[in-house]
Amino acid sequence: MSQQGYVATPPYSQSQPGIGLSPPHYGHYGDPSHAASPPGLMKPPGPLGTATPGGMLPPGPPPPGTHQFGQNGAHASGHPPQRFPGLPPVNNVAPSYAPYSSSTPSAYPRPVSTSSVTHLGNQLNAMQINNYAASYGPQMAGAPLSYPGGFPGGPAQMAGPPQPQKKLDPDSIPSPIQVIENDRATRGGQVYATNTRGQIPPLVTTDCVIQDEGNASPRYIRCTAYCFPCTSDMAKQAQIPLAAVIKPFATIPSNESPLYVVNHGEDGPVRCNRCKAYMCPFMQFIEGGRRYQCGFCSCVNDVPPFYFQHLDHTGRRLDRYEKPELSLGSYEYVATLDYCRKNKPPNPPAFIFMIDVSYSNVKNGLVKLVCEELKTVLEKLPKEEQEETSGIRVGFITYNKALHFFNVKSNLAQPQMMVVTDVGEVFVPLLDGFLVNYQESQSVIHNLLDQIPEMFADCNENETVFAPVIQAGMEALKAADCPGKLFIFHSSLPTAEAPGKLRNRDDKKLVNTDKEKILFQPQTNVYESLAKDCVAHGCSVTLFLFPSQYVDVASLGLVPLLTGGTLYKYNSFQMHLDSQQFLNDLRNDIQKKIGFDAIMRVRTSTGFRATDFFGGVFMNNTTDVEMAAIDCDKAVTVEFKHDDKLSEDSGALIQCAVLYTTIGGQRRLRIHNLGLNCSSQLADLYKSCETDALINFFAKSAFKAVLHQPLKVIREILVNQTAHMLACYRKNCASPSAASQLILPDSMKVLPVYMNCLLKSCVLLSRPEISTDERMFQRQLVMTMGVADSQLFFYPQLLPIHTLDVKSSTLPAAIRCSESRLSEEGIFLLANGLNMFLWLGVSSPPEVIQGIFNVPSFAHINTDTTLLPEVESPYSQKLRLIMSIILQKRPYSMKLTIVKQREQPEMFFRQFLVEDKGLHGGSSYVDFLCCVHKEICQLLN
């Protein structure tokens, strides 16, 4: 069955009689102003540079005269045939991606014969991709051509008058914004019912109401494809990763029903005897309801007497709509004592706050800020919905070179401090009075928080420890026999003599070498073994970092990553600029929906299995994902591989079960079930793909690989796999058409733009202005992201603000992330989940500037502020509303940077215009699309 996908170029004319080549149809992506050449004549294409601000092409070659090219095109005049072994870098200023040559022998044969090579050269010319081909030889006499970014020369050119500049139309290549808008138009605001196996959900950017009718909501599980290939050979042929991005604690909007809790008392959940899958809608009841067949392993089980129910005339239980586990995709079970540590009910979790009181933190006011804010956030500790107060107990530690524990027992008049100076063997000096109920000890705690800044006001100690701080928190939780979370507020490289001591190893000379991966690895194995102990004792670590220089995030961030905690980083923290962002993060983090001491297992039906797990996960064996805690923002990406054939009839079933302790100390099981289709047709696989989930998978697998492989190799693999997936579609699913056409499957038409964004990310492509720590930080964030967060991170949201309809309650329509979309008269807001920018054109309308900033003109705007003034104008109110809507849905509070056109900070802003060429390497979207097309042509030949 042929399936026509997205065609990026118009059909090319058929080859003329007597000539073995199709004369290409010129003009970039089908510029109608150029007709096909007459037989025997070839037009040399113009070099394709990066789009200049107006979207103009650089000056092209002179128009062709009557110069005859031989039948084999450009190299008939004596130049050697071009072999296209791999692509040279796009510019010779700073290295772009490594030459895109395959590091592993390709499954497709490479072109060898001269005629096929030439044919390829002509196809590329048809798309004007000569900027990727090496020079054909010296340029002939004539006007020298300038190549922005220094592209290698094109084919030999004749003298002649310069050609007028040609307009490049980026609108003719697939637009992520258009894809998002189309999906919103067709599916936004509607009810999406999950009653059909293998159906494709609305995009993650589309707001809709999800109704659970037997499969888990896409808020919990999204897949790279919703129809799996039946055989492993098909999977290998397409090279599309089969994966699920699972976010077990995802936040559910108030207009959707929360999870039902099933309680079978002492009997506990009903499970398959063989594979241990939990009762779910995929179980088939037989023999009048006395037995059931497992949907995962086909084992026939007896129904426990307490669970028996008669079947109706269709063979379904009469009570199936009364039981969440028989009619819904997601639900919870109350766990029995068999599921608890030491077979006894868990204690409610505890939060321990640990403050670095070294000299710089006291002097810059950070210690005082944290202590003041804790008084507020402790009032809002998370609690079970039916409870009046939180069951969470709290404790406090301060530290520099030594650790200070505080007794805040409710009957004390004053808090008491106990100092531990032996940081080599940390012990907890007090049990009674360290972890307390906040409500009961409120006055003693407030007393302590008032005293801490004064207590250390004259402290000159600048050296700190770090690993012993985590060790102390873990030992305290262990002694109290409860799970919990450490909140650590830390700011420097731990250089004091103690376990986990670190040195400054930030070596710029390693960047862009094969040894660059060392920078991504922790400096010592202390932190990995510490993380392992933390997970074993249900101790999660969240770290707030305030670095003014290198702090080795690769080492310090490892424990938060592996224990299900979060890492926050505020570079060169300044009280007046950064405190709001930090306080928002702290408030959000403390109030997050969270489960403690968790174990996750993903079961599948026969024929395939989960083989690889990406995220903040720790695994002692090949099946159990252990997490000290998991919150509403953390996602685990799971890859599946075939171990047998799948059948089209039974499909592919996935069950994710998470055993965890609630905030109130109850042990529960959270179950998510999803049924996917299977097909022996490749076209069905391509139709069912989800680009946003694919990019989440590719990002996590690439960011995991940076620990062991050179970045150049990783980038090559990503480019090769992109080309491979698209070439397989072209070869097996698309209608026959000229080889020079780029044809993309509809579900993947924006895969190249997202893949290029991933290739240009600072983790995979170093940039001089980005520190090693920042690269490690971004790597760590992406490893735990769900699909919505990774989508925004790689392709930021860019909104025009100057055209706001202040009366409308909706967000303005986004525009593409390219400089050519900005205008001098415009004001634009850009957000990627980590950063937020307000860009102001030099000719911004004065009335809008007055409305937003309460100043008369562009020149009066203060760019040092990180908060918008609260002006009573409709413009200001609307803009602040838009910003709060964007912030609401994201795990990190974004600090606002105000950027004026043509001023220095604009350089930092421009790296987020991801469709453009990178300032320090990295292709533009147009160039990358050409590059992928070239790779596809090579694979197909």
Residue 580 to residues 13, 151, 297, 832, 898, Cα–Cα distance (Å)? 61, 46, 53, 18, 16
The pLDDT assigned to 471 comes to: 97
- Inform me whether the pLDDT recorded for 200 exceeds 80: yes
> Closest Cα to residue 73, out of 8, 10, 9, 136?
136
Q: How confident is the model at residue 739 (pLDDT cuts 50, 70, 90)?
A: confident
Q: How confident is the model at residue 153 (pLDDT cuts 50, 70, 90)?
A: very low
- Inform me whether the pLDDT recorded for 292 exceeds 50: yes
pLDDT tens readout for residues 809-842: 778 899 999 999 999 999 999 999 999 999 999 9
240 three-class SS: coil
* Residue whose tokens read 């220094």: 150
Is residue 272 classed exposed, middle or buried when 0-12, 13-18 and 19+ CB atoms within 10 A define those classes? buried
pLDDT tens readout for residues 544-588: 999 999 999 999 999 999 999 999 999 999 999 999 999 999 999
Stretch (H or E) spanning 685: helix 682-687
Question: CB-hemisphere CA count at 13 Å for 824?
Answer: 5
The pLDDT assigned to 482 comes to: 96
The pLDDT assigned to 736 comes to: 85
The pLDDT assigned to 94 comes to: 37
Over residues 845-866, the mean pLDDT reads: 93
Can you say whether residue 795 is alpha, beta or left, with left for phi > 0 and alpha for psi between -120 and 50 degrees?
A: beta
320 three-class SS: coil
What is the Cα–Cα distance from 554 to 564, expressed in whole angstroms? 16
Over residues 788-798, the mean pLDDT reads: 98
Greater model confidence, 227 or 66: 227
Contact (Cβ atoms closer than 8 angstroms) between residue 618 and residue 590: no
Tokens of 506: 């930030």
pLDDT tens readout for residues 296-338: 999 999 999 999 999 999 999 999 999 999 999 999 999 999 9
pLDDT tens readout for residues 548-560: 999 999 999 999 9
- The H helix count followed by the E strand count for the chain is 23, 30
The pLDDT assigned to 691 comes to: 98
Q: How confident is the model at residue 617 (pLDDT cuts 50, 70, 90)?
A: confident
pLDDT tens readout for residues 880-919: 999 999 998 899 999 999 999 999 889 999 999 999 999 8
- Inform me whether the pLDDT recorded for 358 exceeds 90: yes
**What pTM was estimated for this model as a whole?**
0.84
DSSP structure string for 432-465: TTTSEETTTTHHHHHHHHHHHHHHTTT-------
Contact (Cβ atoms closer than 8 angstroms) between residue 693 and residue 223: yes
Q: Which residues make Cβ contacts (< 8 Å) with residue 99, sequence separation at least 6?
A: 86, 87, 88, 89
The pLDDT assigned to 47 comes to: 34
DSSP structure string for 84-110: --SPPPS-SSS--SPP---SS--SSPP
> Closest Cα to residue 285, out of 323, 235, 251?
323
* Residue whose tokens read 């930030």: 506
The pLDDT assigned to 431 comes to: 84
Return the number of other C-beta atoms located less than 10 Å from residue 614's C-beta: 23
Q: How confident is the model at residue 801 (pLDDT cuts 50, 70, 90)?
A: very high
Greater model confidence, 935 or 3: 935
* Residue whose tokens read 């067709």: 186
567 three-class SS: strand
Average confidence score pLDDT of the chain: 84
What is the Cα–Cα distance from 771 to 674, expressed in whole angstroms? 41
The pLDDT assigned to 42 comes to: 37
Lowest mean pLDDT, pick from 10-14, 410-414, 473-477, 844-848? 10-14
- Inform me whether the pLDDT recorded for 133 exceeds 70: no
539-545 vs 484-490, strand pairing mode: parallel
330-334 vs 261-262, strand pairing mode: parallel
The pLDDT assigned to 167 comes to: 37
Tokens of 105: 């022998």
Return the number of other C-beta atoms located less than 10 Å from residue 359's C-beta: 17
| φ, ψ (nearest 5 deg) of residue 540 | -95, 145
Over residues 53-57, the mean pLDDT reads: 35
Tokens of 606: 């026969």
Lowest mean pLDDT, pick from 91-100, 531-540, 756-765? 91-100
Question: CA end-to-end span of the chain, whole Å?
Answer: 22
The pLDDT assigned to 616 comes to: 87
What is the Cα–Cα distance from 770 to 767, expressed in whole angstroms? 6
